[in-house]
Amino acid sequence: MVAVIGFLMIIAIVVLLLKGKMSPIVVLAVVPAVAALILRFSPVEIMAFIADGIKTTTSNGILFIFSVIYFGVLADTGLFDVIVGWLVKKAGNNVIAVTVVTAVIATIAHLDGTTAVTVLITIPSMYPVYKKMKIDPRILLCLTGACMGVMNLLPWGGPTARAATVLEMDATELWHMLIPLQVVGLVMNIALAVVLGMVAIKHGAGLGKGEEVAVDEKEKKEEASLRKSNAFLIFNFLLTAGVIALLSTGIGKSYVVFMLGLCILLAVNYPDQKLQDKLIKKHAPAALIISATLFAAGAMVGVFDGTGMLEAMANAIMAIIPAALGKYIHIIFGILALPLGLCVGTDAYFYGIMPLVMQVGETYGVASLNTALTMLIGKNLALMVSPLVPATYLAIGLTGTELKDHMKFSIPPYYLVSLMMLVFGVILGIVTI
């Protein structure tokens, strides 16, 4: 009964999010609470579950607030315009070069491991080019998500750190094992960019004049007034490199690093209180919406864990796997990683399902590390098509694309890349059978 309610809850969440009739915050917080009531848990118990779940996302929520504002202000200074402008200039009017440059920008942008930042850097800078050259914006979303998924294997990206926590090992040590697969994934993303560029040409991209993205003149002048000189941009680059270096070393909490970085960035570039307040207010809405959605997702995770739905669902899935396939359970869940990643939040996946699968695998002689590696690969590729990831809504909002259209277009290539990475993992001996 518990497992059935759990599966029905997941289906209800996905359907409501796909229909777009309710805010993700409402869906992720209310639907699990209703499911818990059906399972006869009291309101007091449910509130306790939600509170416990939100605790697990508090640091990430604070991180989103400061990181989104930091990179938003950084973009205002014009630093990314210099890098992106150079790359776009090199691409010219070549459609395939534009799609390849998109992959390169998204890869560089995700060095910090923050999904919202990657979206805010890649999509606004490339979207006008796509409109002008009549390239389907779904290609922009697809390439951004693919590069984000592969780069998210970095130890400070989140999923690798979560998997390392479950394995009780160092995240950097786990990442070192994944580096060859990360290289394979990056090469595949460039190949995907070339293929999608060819598809775009086939559909008329680059032929004739496209559509110019409307820019408010007042807004354009305001943006120009915020641009800084080369001396400031060099300082901003060094500051950002320092912030990312601190994040990679794990010295201090990530949100503290971004908070201090934001303070320095504002103080040096815009030493005027009114302007500082204005810039914070400018980027705060995106930061707060993402953080609020993350807290709502935490509420869902809390109900999942507190009611025992997650364990019941995982056991139900495992019950249908024949005993003869037990020694291949890591490969099975490696293949299912992307579909599961679409329906289950990151914390629920790594802290709920993964430990159970690892435990079952151990009984069949499959090492926990082996299971974790296979489940880590595919989950990352599901990152920007999952209805449970706040950055997904940010990305589709920036391009005016429907979630269902983005999912239909991007899931097939993502699944192909994830399966190919799994195959290469076996070939390279990273994953053993």
User: How is residue 430 annotated by DSSP?
Assistant: S
Residue 237 φ/ψ, nearest 5 degrees: -65, -45
How far is residue 121's CA from residue 148's CA, in Å, rounded to a whole number?
12
Task: Give the span between the Cα atoms of 269 and 73, in whole angstroms.
Answer: 9
d(CA 172, CA 156): 9
Q: Which residue has the tokens 């590390």?
A: 369
Largest CA distance in the chain: 68
Give the torsion through C-alpha atoms of 385, 387, 389, 393, to 10 deg: 80
CA angle 29, 159, 155 (to 5 degrees): 140
pLDDT score, position 223: 61
Dihedral sign (CA 355, 356, 362, 365): negative
Q: How do the pLDDT tens digits run along the chain, 433 residues long?
A: 888 888 888 778 777 766 767 777 888 889 889 999 999 999 999 999 999 888 877 776 787 788 778 878 887 888 777 776 777 777 777 889 999 999 998 998 887 667 777 887 788 778 888 888 888 999 999 999 999 989 888 776 678 877 887 777 777 778 888 889 999 999 999 999 999 999 999 988 776 555 544 555 555 666 666 777 778 888 998 998 888 778 767 677 778 888 999 999 999 999 889 889 999 988 888 778 767 877 887 788 788 788 888 778 767 766 777 777 778 888 988 998 888 887 776 766 777 678 778 877 887 888 889 999 999 888 888 888 887 777 788 788 888 888 888 988 999 999 999 999 999 999 998 888 8
User: Residue 39 and residue 46: Cα distance in Å, rounded?
Assistant: 11
**In degrees rounded to 5, what are phi and psi of residue 216?**
-65, 125
To which residue do tokens 């705060």 refer? Answer: 284
Residue ranges per domain, the chain?
2-208+216-427
The count of residues in the chain is 433
Residues in contact with 312: Cβ distance below 8 Å, sequence separation at least 6, in sequence order: 2, 3, 6
Calpha distance 403→396 (Å, rounded): 7
